[in-house]
Amino acid sequence: MWSFSGAILVLLVPAVLAAPVPLSGRALPTPVSGATARTYLSELTVAVESNTPAYSRDLFKTWDIISGTCDTRETVLKRDGTSVVTDSACKATSGNWVSPYDGIATTLASDLDIDHVVPLKEAWVSGARDWTAAQRESFANDLTRPQLVAVTDNLNQSKGDKDPAEWVPPLTSYRCTYARAWVTVKHFYDLTIDSAEKTALTSLLASC
C-alpha cells in the first residue's frame, strides 16, 4: 500500500482514510469500521517481535514541518483542540483540549504529549527495523492514518511502547476506537503482530 521511488516516499492512500473526520469532537482521523478492523486483523501476520538490531528513537525523525512554521506536534494540537491560539512560531499559547484516552480536560498545551497510537518501538520490532529512514520518518509524522493524537502527558508516558495486550486507554468508551486505530495503522504499514497482541485485539474488536 506504499512504495518508494529513489529517495522519494510515495504514499498510496486509500480514499476511505484520506480525510480526517472528527470523532465526538476529537479529530483523530477516522479508523476503519469494527467489521473492517476484524478483517484487517485476520490478515495481519503473526510473528515473534525482534529487536535486532536494537531500537533507537533517533531512527524515527520527529517532528516534521507541515505548513509554514507548524510542525507535526503543533498541527495535532490545533487539530485536536478547540479555540487554539498560536504565536508567530506556531506554538499553542492557549486552547482547550480533552485527552480521549482518559477524558481529562486541560487548557495547557504543555500538559499534552502527541501519542503514536502504534508506538515507534512497537513498529520497529514488528517490521520497521527493515524500513528506510524515509519510511520511518513518514510513519512517525503520519497525519493521515489514525496514528497521532494529543493525550495527557503522564498517561502517554505510562503507556510507553506497550501494545494492547499490555495497555489500553483507561476510558473504556474509547477502547473500541483505539483498537480500530491500532489495526488500521498496522494493516496499512504491513506490520506484524504477536500472538498476545492478536488475542487482545480480537477481544477488543468483538464488541465494536
Residue 7 is assigned to a structural domain of this protein: no
Bond into 146 cis (ω within 30):
no
Residue 23 DSSP label: B
Residue 108 has a pLDDT of: 97
Residue 53 has a pLDDT of: 97
* pLDDT by position in tens, the chain (length 208): 454 333 333 333 332 233 333 333 456 899 999 999 999 999 999 999 999 999 999 999 999 999 999 999 999 999 999 999 999 999 999 999 999 999 999 999 999 999 999 999 999 999 999 999 999 999 999 999 999 999 999 999 999 999 999 999 999 999 999 999 999 999 999 999 999 999 999 999 998 9
Residue 2 has a pLDDT of: 52
Residue 135 is assigned to a structural domain of this protein: yes
> What amino acid is encoded at 186 in this protein?
K
Nearest Cα residue to 187 out of 207, 173, 201: 201
Bond into 124 cis (ω within 30):
no
- Please say whether the beta carbons of 175 and 34 come within 8 A: no
Interhelix angle 175-188/34-43, nearest 10 degrees? 40
> How, if at all, do strands 2-5 and 8-11 pair?
antiparallel
- Domain extent, residue 40, equals 15-205
Residue 119 is assigned to a structural domain of this protein: yes
Residue 6 DSSP label: T
Residue 173 is assigned to a structural domain of this protein: yes
Residue 4 is assigned to a structural domain of this protein: no
Residue 23 is assigned to a structural domain of this protein: yes
Residue 44 has a pLDDT of: 98
Residue 5 is assigned to a structural domain of this protein: no
Residue 6 is assigned to a structural domain of this protein: no
| pTM attached to this predicted model | 0.87
Residue 8 has a pLDDT of: 33
DSSP 4-73: EETTEEEE---GGGSS---BTTB-PPPPPPHHHHHHHHHHSPB------SPP-GGGS--PPEEETTEEHH
Q: Number of structural domains, the chain?
A: 1
